Amino acid sequence: MSGTTELLKRVFIGRAIASNRLGETLLPKKIALPVFCSDPISSVAYATEQIVLVLGTAGAASLLGLAAPIAVAVALLLAVVVASYRQTCFAYPSGGGAYIVSKENLGDRAALTAAAALLVDYVMTVAVSVVSGVVAITSAAASLAPYAMEISVGFVVLLAVVNLRGVRESGTAFAFPTYAFVALTFLLLASGVYRALTGGVPDAASAHLALRRTATSGGFLTVLLCLRAFASGCTALTGVEAISNGVPAFKKPKSQNAATTLVIMGALAISMFGGITALAIATHARAYADGNPSVISQIADSIWGRSPLFYAFQAATAGILILAANTAFNGFPTLASILARDRFLPRQLHNRGDRLAYSNGIVLLAAVSVALIIGFNANIEKLIQLYIVGVFTSFTLSQIGMVKHWKAELSRTTEAAKRRIIRRSQAINGTGALVTGLVLIIVVRYKFLAGAYLAIAAMIVIFFLMRAIRGHYDAVGAELAPGPAGVPLPSRNHAVVLVSKIHAPTLRALAYAKATRPHDLTALTVSVDDEDTAALVAEWDERGIGLPLTIVNSPYREVTRPILDYVDRIHRASPRDVVTVYIPEYVVGHWWEQLLHNQSALRLKGRLLYKPGVMVTSVPYQLRSAQTVDPERA
DSSP 252-291: SSHHHHHHHHHHHHHHHHHHHHHHHHHHHHHTTPPPPTT-
User: 3-class DSSP state for residue 536?
Assistant: helix
Angle at which helix 44-56 crosses helix 29-42, to 10 degrees, equals 10
Distance, in Å, from the CA atom of 125 to the CA atom of 383, rounded to the nearest integer, reads 10
Rounded mean pLDDT, 6-33: 58
Cβ atoms within 10 Å of 520's Cβ, excluding its own: 11
Q: Does position 218 have pLDDT exceeding 70, yes or no?
A: no
By the 10 Å C-beta count (0-12 exposed, 13-18 middle, 19+ buried), 504 is classed as exposed
Distance, in Å, from the CA atom of 132 to the CA atom of 134, rounded to the nearest integer, reads 5
User: 3-class DSSP state for residue 576?
Assistant: coil
Q: What percent of the chain has pLDDT over 90?
A: 26
Split at pLDDT 50, 70, 90, the class of 1 is very low
- Amino acid letter for position 486: G
- Amino acid letter for position 518: P
Cβ atoms within 10 Å of 328's Cβ, excluding its own: 33
pTM: 0.75
The H or E element that residue 502 is part of is none
Question: Nearest-CA neighbor of 89 among 14, 47, 29?
Answer: 29
Looking at residue 220, what is its pLDDT? 67
Mean pLDDT over the full length of the chain: 83
Distance, in Å, from the CA atom of 166 to the CA atom of 357, rounded to the nearest integer, reads 5
Question: Nearest-CA neighbor of 496 among 550, 560, 536, 533?
Answer: 550
* More confident of the two residues 17 and 266: 266
Distance, in Å, from the CA atom of 390 to the CA atom of 297, rounded to the nearest integer, reads 28
Q: Does position 288 have pLDDT exceeding 80, yes or no?
A: no
Looking at residue 169, what is its pLDDT? 53
Split at pLDDT 50, 70, 90, the class of 22 is very low
Helix residue ranges, H only, 141-247 = 148-164, 167-197, 220-233, 242-245
- 587 forms bridges with which residues in the sheet? 622
Q: Between the CA of residue 518 and those of 554, 576, 577, 582, what are the distances in Å?
A: 27, 15, 11, 12
Distance, in Å, from the CA atom of 535 to the CA atom of 606, rounded to the nearest integer, reads 29
Question: Is the peptide bond preceding residue 293 cis, with omega within 30 degrees of 0?
Answer: yes
Q: Does position 392 have pLDDT exceeding 50, yes or no?
A: yes
Distance, in Å, from the CA atom of 499 to the CA atom of 387, rounded to the nearest integer, reads 61
First-to-last alpha carbon distance for the chain, in angstroms, is: 4
- Geometric angle at alpha carbon 110, from 107 and 115, rounded to 5°: 115
Instruction: Convert the pLDDT of each residue in 181-190 to its tens digit.
Output: 999 999 999 9
What letter would DSSP give residue 588?
-
Looking at residue 167, what is its pLDDT? 54
**What phi and psi, each to the nearest 5 degrees, are found at residue 518?**
-70, 165
Q: Does position 507 have pLDDT exceeding 50, yes or no?
A: yes
Looking at residue 130, what is its pLDDT? 87
Split at pLDDT 50, 70, 90, the class of 211 is low
Maximum distance among all alpha carbons in the chain?
Answer: 109
Distance, in Å, from the CA atom of 115 to the CA atom of 137, rounded to the nearest integer, reads 33
Split at pLDDT 50, 70, 90, the class of 345 is very high
Looking at residue 264, what is its pLDDT? 93
User: Which CATH class name applies to 19-472?
Assistant: mainly alpha
Cβ atoms within 10 Å of 304's Cβ, excluding its own: 20
* More confident of the two residues 625 and 567: 567
Q: Does position 417 have pLDDT exceeding 60, yes or no?
A: yes
DSSP E strands in 421-536: the ranges are 493-498, 520-527
Split at pLDDT 50, 70, 90, the class of 18 is very low
Distance, in Å, from the CA atom of 249 to the CA atom of 330, rounded to the nearest integer, reads 10
- Sorted by where each begins, the domain ranges of the chain are 19-472, 493-628
Looking at residue 631, what is its pLDDT? 57
Cβ distance 171 to 34 under 8 Å?
Answer: yes
Q: Does position 20 have pLDDT exceeding 50, yes or no?
A: no
Instruction: Convert the pLDDT of each residue in 223-243 to its tens digit.
Output: 778 888 887 788 778 778 878
Q: Which CATH superfamily is domain 493-628 in?
A: HUPs (3.40.50.620)
